[in-house]
Structure 1
Amino acid sequence: VLLRTADKIFTVDVGLNGQIRWDGTPLCRCIQYLAGHSLSVSDLRRWFQVITRTLTTVWASRLMLAMEKAINEKESKGPACTFEFDGESSGLLGPGESRWPFIDGYAFATWIYIESFVDALSTATVAAAIAAAASAKSGKSSAVSAAAAASALAGEGTAHMPRLFSFLSSDNLGIEAYFHAQFLVVEIGSGKGKRSALHFTYPFKPQCWYFIGLEHVGNHGVMGKAESEIRLYVDGSLYESRPFEVPKISKPLAFCCIGTNPPPTMAGLQRRRRQCPLFAEMGPVYIFKEAIGEERMGRLASRGGDIVPSFGNAAGLPWLATNAQMQNKAEESALLDAEIGGFVHLLYHPSLLSGRFCPDASPSGAAGMLRRPAEVLGQVHVATRMRPVDALWAVAYGGPLSLLPLAISNIQEDTLEPHQGNFSVSVATTSLAAPIFRIISTAIQYPRNSEELGRCRGPVVLSKILNYLLRTLSSLGIGRDDGVGDEELVAAVVSLCLSQKINHTLKLQLFTTLLLDIKIWSLCSYGIQKKLLSSLADLVFTESAVMRDANAIQVLLDGCRRCYWTVLEKDSVNTVPLTGVTRPVGEVNALVDELLVVIELLIVAASPSLVSNDVRCLLGFIVDCPQPGQERL
């Protein structure tokens, strides 16, 4: 609906030479936020159509920037399928046990997006003070007083403390984790009215995806004395580990609540405490009957919340993979499932929710040995969505390469090669190039888009488009003396080459065709070429292996001879017919100096066994250097 509205409103501005009749910025922002949450293929195609129809207006570039922001939106980082808790009465109620299942500790892990903590300013101020006291190193008294204050606030019901989980016996003994404003608190009830709490110091933000892991680790000290600690993991990394004695609980587990605590009507519980449900989205919920350790918690976080684990003999072998990256990912996932399967107590995945019940996907639940479904409390909905990067993969053959036609003003009908169109359309399309390259750089960080780029000879296609764009920018000339547009494009191309982390071969091809090919950059201004070469010099320190595999020294020397010779040779690149000016000899020699700095750094960074080949390459170049006044090696 918003895209159709944008189409009707923005097309009115076509032909008004940059003037606008209505400020559509709020509309673009709404489209961006909604698309960041979920973007279907049909909506993405409609988005392309709106940009095409408004090319000669200011709204085409703003719509493209909105698409770029939507792909990088925080909300798109979470699982594709989540539980939605409304913050009023919703939650999941797991089954009770005839005994306490967490004798050897416990661990809890999930992905969470908190819409709101629903706290007053005074409560937030108190929570911040408690967190500061808890993090102080002045002694145990500060942590104890902080825990007492947090426990008092939670116990008296004077503030809304949304529960992450509650594992309680029928007489209110057990473990609870809740948010006191932005801070997570773990509270233990051990009998005779005694409650102890631990206040973590990580400030969680609303409307942001997190992987949260909590685990209680029990160790035996040197003197035989038991030592225990509670660990908080945020996004897979151990953030905080605090000593905390968890008393033994001998009562049976009566309530296993997720996203809430038991309502006061249940068995007369919590006479003075109200129900505090979360207002949040939550991904798969893992409950372990003992700690799984830092390494496994990190692997679980990096795997993400989209996987429905498979345990035991029914898991099979991960052989259905379309490329090496997906194969490795599937094998790592299967290995992780095999390692954690023995520790899983309960596992609830939102994609399995049916009606008022969510089946247990733990090894015993999936095998049918025990039926332990979670019952829905209140209204719990399942949100499913398609991430923008997934929509880009599915929209057309080539995946993210389907954006490239928006950067081309015209094509030759017989060869389908990019061809410069009229002035206004050429200016409009080239202005979209930088955000398009940045979108592609984000998209190919995901395996399916990376595979699609490699399968469709993406580096070669990108090189042709980049060559066309730089030629167009050079021929337009007007209004681009400052080189701002070119500089943004250079930064986008560098970002594209650096973004590929999972496919070394593809990254090598991107470096070779886009960054190391001096020929396509020789059309740019002196400042832009100097920026490119200085960027290459910086990359030597972080990407020396890729540049070495790309034979960067020989490629750069060949580019130097073709593009920076003052006396042209047969295969030299002559930019005079296109730009209309002859580059000053001083600028050419300055560019040669910058290029030689890159080569020098590459030689210094090389291993001793490769230096002899590099020197041989340089000597051959010097012997064959026919240029007077350019013997700068």
Structure 2
Amino acid sequence: MGKPESLDKLKNVVSGIENFGCGEESEATAFLVIDSLIATMGGVESFEEDEDSNPPSVMLNSRAAIVSGELIPWLPGLGDSVKFMSPRTRMVRGLLVIIRSCTRNRAMCSTAGLLGVLLRSVEEIISKDVDMKWNAAAILLLCIQHLAGHSLSVDDLHRWLQVIKAAVTTAWSSPLMLALEKAMSGKESRGPACTFEFDGESSGLLGPGESRWPFTNGYAFATWIYIESFADTLNAATAAAAIAAAAAAKSGKTSAMSAAAAASALAGEGTAHMPRLFSFLSADNQGIEAYFHAQFLVVESGSGKARKSSLHFTHAFKPQCWYFIGLEHSCKQGLLGKAESELRLYIDGSLYESRPFDFPRISKPLSFCCIGTNPPPTMAGLQRRRRQCPLFAEMGPVYIFKEPIGPERMARLASRGGDVLPCFGNGAGLPWLATNDYVRNKAEESSILDADIGGYTHLLYHPCLLSGRFCPDASLSGAAGTLRRPAEVLGQVHVATRMKPVESFWALAYGGPMSLLPLTVSNVHKDSLEPCLGNLPLSLSTVTLAAPVFRIMSVAIQHPGNNEELCRTQGPEILARILRYLLHSLASLDRKHDGVGEEELVAAIVSLCQSQKINHVLKVQLFRTLLLDLKIWSLCNYGLQKKLLSSLQDMVFTEATAMRNAEAIQLLLDGCRRCYWMISEKDSETTFPLDRNTRQMGDSLL
């Protein structure tokens, strides 16, 4: 697979230019090559787009994916029907199944450079199929979207925009831009940029033991997690809970929820695969475990041979979604000497569920501190009745606290995100090198949070620190060198490092996402460089790209760097000029449409203005120049103007501060006087519209 001449020969063979001389048709040969490549990658169970038909599995060979991507333009792509897939369609469907299967596959393909290969393949296909006649083109774009949603390098983003520019007048430009937009706001973009990859077979982290049990007054556990799959099904867990609830209702001795928890605990005693979030155990199997029973999280504790209890939380976690999960078990001594214990579950920083649950009193040393798994069966004295249950998931930084930290700190930790590597102690310094107020404030908040949680932290493992078979402890004692407590890798634990699309836009060019705006302009005046109408096909194409471009910008400016670039390049003023040009183009083009394109543009502009959460001054400028300037919108039809005013009416309540600071009432009254005034004012410049033609009274209302 490694020689370029071999790849060239393979291209000729699958396209029918060459043959092996065995009399087989080129199409049959192409199918043989495709099936061989898919088998080399690990195979697929079904070519259907339904994700349920293909359970997640890790691919075997990423080089085969590169060869597959190179061959796509050379494979025959005609003849697709309900009962028949052309070789090219079969290839891209197989690739999509493998890419979408799990994050590890996307990480392997991204590292191998598959995204760039697919973009070159799209470029090659466009040169032969301008009108997008190939039925499975959308599937190829889905492959690109999933890869870019995982990680998008600056080089790949630059090539992507070049492909869109070259194909701007073809049927491919809009789908390519929409794929980029979906990659920007994909579900993977919400996770940390660096994560542990647990394969669900034997992987995990084994933390150090302790000579005494470290959790005497409670504990807390926090991490970011993307669960690839659950071993059990939701129906199985629901059935167990329903049976337990029925038994409880019949006996009347216990609550339905307690019975459901008992059913979960009973199920856990068998050999069922229940992946562990963590296991803190002594040598004789006493301790605390958190595991998933189907899609429900269960916490189990045991402080003696016959003293085991479990609690079944009611939240059904979804596979392949990022969550911040926090568990906190507190134990307070009551007034009458009775301990009051409570177990709390936090999801995405918010307290989801709080339930009474006895805190185990364990006098034995901590022997096994496992993350993402439980101790393997080979460890003496353990797992007599259970097999090892590793987690098939991505996991961000792992915080283990020796005491509860409370809802407020848990919310701040979730809000900060998993990209930050905490700094503890006097050596942490102060964040005085921040480039703007927002970054400085965030850095100060992060520094304060580190100071608040530093004393509570027992262990902290960050994926960016993993080296070889060990991950050093980044907690206060570990970072200071007081105690060296690295976690040992069990099985194979990879680290996925991704570059988020918003960061790629910031690194792409001066202006960040502002570099997208030329794609919305069909022509410029040679002297003034002001945008103007070009030829009809080009103008139609650029106007069509405008709405997704503005939506991409609304996502990109949530990144501090892109936000700063927007301010530095006088973004609001430039956007106002572009918007005026676009609305003028829509009004000038003789198009038979129902205003759908215009409504999409209005919604995109509203989204762009409302998405600004970092810089309030910039948000006010965007409101003033884009939404509240009725002179720009007077070029549109009355229905569209009414839609804009309705949106502004809603913002009176949802964006009250920004509207007040933008002097919305005064601007709207001035705009109404200029654009909707029914009495002609002699020699008034506001009597004339923007296109310099005489405007009749009430012209904007027609």
**TM-score of the superposed pair, with normalisation by structure 2:** 0.80
User: Pick from 673, 687, 695: which aligns with 1:561?
Assistant: 673
Partners of 2:338 and 2:163 lie apart in 1 by 69
1:430 equivalent in structure 2: 543
Partners of 1:576 and 1:313 lie apart in 2 by 62
1:31 equivalent in structure 2: 144
Q: Does 1:400 align with 2:513?
A: yes
Q: Does 1:95 align with 2:211?
A: no
Q: 1:266–1:171: structure 2 CA closer, same or farther, 3 Å change rule? A: same
Per the TM alignment, residue 132 of structure 1 is displaced from its structure 2 partner at its CA by 7.5
1:502 equivalent in structure 2: 614
User: Pick from 681, 684, 695: which aligns with 1:570?
Assistant: 684
Q: Does 1:12 align with 2:128?
A: yes
Per-residue deviation, residues 5-38 of structure 1 (Å, max 9, x unmatched): 1111123333x5xx62443000111111111111
Q: 1:21–1:584: structure 2 CA closer, same or farther, 3 Å change rule? A: farther
1:214 equivalent in structure 2: 327
1:150 equivalent in structure 2: 264
Per-residue deviation, residues 410-431 of structure 1 (Å, max 9, x unmatched): 1223322212110001000100
Per the TM alignment, residue 133 of structure 1 is displaced from its structure 2 partner at its CA by 8.1
Amino acid of the structure 2 residue aligned with 1:7: E
Q: 1:134–1:82: structure 2 CA closer, same or farther, 3 Å change rule? A: farther
* Cα RMSD (Å): 2.1
> Please, which moves more after superposition, 404-413 or 340-349?
404-413
Q: Does 1:310 align with 2:426?
A: no
Structure 2 unaligned regions, length at least 5: 1-116
Q: 1:272–1:307: structure 2 CA closer, same or farther, 3 Å change rule? A: same
The alignment partner of 1:116 has SS state of: coil
Partners of 1:133 and 1:234 lie apart in 2 by 29
| Deviant stretches of 4+, over 4 Å | 130-136, 575-578, 580-584
Name the structure, 1 or 2, with higher relative contact order (CA <8 Å, separation 6+).
1
Partners of 1:291 and 1:517 lie apart in 2 by 52
> Please, which moves more after superposition, 88-97 or 25-34?
25-34
The alignment partner of 1:217 has SS state of: strand
1:533 equivalent in structure 2: 645
User: Pick from 524, 532, 538: which aligns with 1:411?
Assistant: 524
User: Pick from 180, 191, 194: which aligns with 2:304?
Assistant: 191
User: Pick from 289, 294, 308: which aligns with 2:407?
Assistant: 294
Per the TM alignment, residue 42 of structure 1 is displaced from its structure 2 partner at its CA by 0.6
Amino acid of the structure 2 residue aligned with 1:498: Q
Partners of 2:240 and 2:570 lie apart in 1 by 55
1:168 equivalent in structure 2: 281
Per the TM alignment, residue 210 of structure 1 is displaced from its structure 2 partner at its CA by 0.2
Amino acid of the structure 2 residue aligned with 1:150: S
Q: 1:322–1:186: structure 2 CA closer, same or farther, 3 Å change rule? A: same
Q: Does 1:491 align with 2:603?
A: yes
The alignment partner of 1:346 has SS state of: strand
Amino acid of the structure 2 residue aligned with 1:564: Y
User: Pick from 618, 622, 626: which aligns with 1:514?
Assistant: 626
Per the TM alignment, residue 348 of structure 1 is displaced from its structure 2 partner at its CA by 0.2
Contact 1:134 1:199 in 2 (8 A): no
Per the TM alignment, residue 582 of structure 1 is displaced from its structure 2 partner at its CA by 6.0
Per the TM alignment, residue 134 of structure 1 is displaced from its structure 2 partner at its CA by 12
Query: How many residue pairs were aligned?
Result: 582
Per the TM alignment, residue 515 of structure 1 is displaced from its structure 2 partner at its CA by 0.4
2:552 equivalent in structure 1: 439
Partners of 1:234 and 1:532 lie apart in 2 by 36
> Please, which moves more after superposition, 43-52 or 221-230?
221-230
Q: 1:145–1:79: structure 2 CA closer, same or farther, 3 Å change rule? A: same
The alignment partner of 1:202 has SS state of: strand
Per the TM alignment, residue 222 of structure 1 is displaced from its structure 2 partner at its CA by 3.6
Partners of 2:636 and 2:548 lie apart in 1 by 19
The alignment partner of 1:229 has SS state of: strand
Q: 1:139–1:563: structure 2 CA closer, same or farther, 3 Å change rule? A: farther
Contact 2:677 2:697 in 1 (8 A): no
Q: 1:143–1:23: structure 2 CA closer, same or farther, 3 Å change rule? A: closer
Alignment of 1:28-427 (within 5 A): 28-120=141-233, 123-126=236-239, 129=242, 140-157=254-271, 159-427=272-540
The alignment partner of 2:410 has SS state of: helix
Amino acid of the structure 2 residue aligned with 1:154: G
Partners of 1:134 and 1:249 lie apart in 2 by 32
Partners of 1:215 and 1:576 lie apart in 2 by 62
Partners of 1:195 and 1:417 lie apart in 2 by 75
Partners of 2:244 and 2:668 lie apart in 1 by 55
Partners of 1:454 and 1:218 lie apart in 2 by 50
The alignment partner of 1:242 has SS state of: strand
Q: 1:122–1:463: structure 2 CA closer, same or farther, 3 Å change rule? A: closer
Per the TM alignment, residue 194 of structure 1 is displaced from its structure 2 partner at its CA by 2.7
The alignment partner of 1:334 has SS state of: helix
The alignment partner of 1:404 has SS state of: helix
